[in-house]
Each structure stands twice: as structure tokens, then as C-alpha cells.
A and B are shown apart, each in its own frame.
Chain A
Amino acid sequence: QQQVKQSPQSLIVQKGGISIINCAYENTAFDYFPWYQQFPGKGPALLIAIRPDVSEKKEGRFTISFNKSAKQFSLHIMDSQPGDSATYFCAATTIKAAGNKLTFGGGTRVLVKP
């Protein structure tokens, strides 16, 4: 059962444009939602994360928007650059206990054209 659904599977954006990736979750026990960036042949790297008591979090050009009632959250990449071309994964977990596992979305391959 896929508990975190991510869309789109891929997207192409022009340099300077906005990339938007959406995720929806089912398990209401999830209370921590990180986003990861993965380049080909590399492990995922934590990009930004949010808790459900916050509706928006911004770090540089990356912004997470969170809608708790709809059980949805999204990543916006502002002023997209060719170096942002990568695969992005949303994830969800519970942080009430130590060492809880992450549930990943299916991933979105982003290509930023110069």
C-alpha cells in the first residue's frame, strides 16, 4: 500500500521558472514530512522538512506548503536553475519515537532547461 502519493512523475521547467511537486498521505499518524533531493548515482540528501503545525516553511528558493486537513503537502522550487535538475522525493514519518522509518513518495524527476 503506497501511503504517500507523489505527482507529477516528471516535469520540465525553464530556467527561472517555478517547479511544483505535490504529495498526499493517508496515515494521520505521520507528523514529520521531509523532502529529499537525489542526483543520479548518489544517495538522497535532505532538502527541507516541515511539521504539520506549520503551514509553510521556506529555505532559500525552496518552500514547503502544508495542508493538514487535506493531508497534502507540496514543494515549490522558485527561480529554478539547471543545477536543480534531480529527482525529488517527499517522505513522511512519525518522530514521536526514536528511529522511525520513512515512507517515501514515488519521486519526481525535474529537468530545468537553460
Chain B
Amino acid sequence: GAVVSQHPSRVICKSGTSVKIECRSLDFQATTMFWYRQFPKQSLMLMATSNEGSKATYEQGVEKDKFLINHASLTLSTLTVTSAHPEDSSFYICSASPGLAGANVGFFGPGTRLTVL
């Protein structure tokens, strides 16, 4: 149980284009989803928290207009990197929570490697 998928697993795009990453909870309903980015040999940095049906809460320093998050259903959240630039190249990981108190153990997706040329 508690499987989280991400699509695509890897994407290469040209500078200036937009890229959408999907995060799905496959066997549970995710009231809350988290988006992280991870640079090589570094820890996970939380970008934003999204709750189903409401606007995402962004961490300080994360541009909300650049990283658009939509959590339209209890099993799907999307992260769109708009007008991507080489500095946006990173490993993006989502995490989903069933939304029950005490159950936020962080079920992570496999990650999406974004390379912006």
C-alpha cells in the first residue's frame, strides 16, 4: 500500500518552455501533497504544500508564478515549471499524505529528473 507515482521520470526541455510533472497516489486518497526539489548530493528542499481543492502554500523564496501547483483531485497533484531555465534543472520529488493526524509519514514518489538545456 501507500504507492505514489510520478510522471515523467525524466524530462529534457529547452530553455523558455514549460514542463508539467504529475504526482499520483495510487492506492489512497491524498488530502495533502508536498513538492520537493533536490540538488545533487543535497537534502530535500520543500517547495510547497498543496491541499486538495485549495491554493498551494509556498515556502519562502519559492516563486509561486514560476512553479504552478494544482491539486484538483484527491489522487493527483501537478507541478508546472513555467519558462524553465537551466538553473531549474533538478530532481523534483512529490510526497503524499492521507491527511489523517498521525499518518504523515511521507510517502514519496520516485522523483522526476528535469534537465533544462
Is there a chain B Cβ closer than 8 Å to A41's Cβ? yes
Chain B count of residues within 8 A CB distance of the other chain: 30
Is there a chain A Cβ closer than 8 Å to B31's Cβ? yes
Q: A98-B97, A101-B34, A107-B43 are in contact. Are A49 and B111 (CB under 8 A)?
A: no
List the A residue with the shortest CB-CB distance to B49.
A101
Contact of B99 among A95, A98, A105 (CB under 8 A): A98
Chain A, range 81-101, C-beta contacts under 8 Å to B: 89, 91, 93, 95-101
- Cα distance, A107 to B31, chains bound together (Å): 28
Contact of A46 among B46, B99, B107 (CB under 8 A): B107
A95-B108 in contact (CB<8A): no
- Cα distance, A98 to B52, chains bound together (Å): 13
B110-A43 in contact (CB<8A): yes
* Residues of chain B with a CB closer than 8 A to A54's CB: none
Q: A98-B32, A107-B42, A107-B43 are in contact. Are A43 and B93 (CB under 8 A)?
A: yes
* Residues of chain A with a CB closer than 8 A to B102's CB: 32, 95
- Cα distance, A93 to B55, chains bound together (Å): 22
For the complex of A and B, list the 10 residue pairs with the smallest distance between their C-beta atoms, beginning with the closest: A99-B32, A43-B108, A95-B102, A43-B111, A43-B110, A98-B99, A99-B97, A104-B43, A98-B101, A44-B108
Write 22 A-B pairs (CB below 8 A) sorted by A numbering. Answer: A32-B102, A32-B105, A34-B105, A36-B108, A41-B111, A41-B113, A43-B108, A43-B109, A44-B44, A44-B106, A45-B108, A89-B43, A89-B44, A93-B104, A95-B101, A95-B102, A97-B101, A98-B31, A99-B99, A99-B104, A102-B106, A105-B43
Using CB atoms and an 8 Å cutoff, list the residues of chain B in contact with chain A: 4, 6, 31-32, 34, 41-44, 46, 49, 51, 91, 93, 95, 97, 99-111, 113
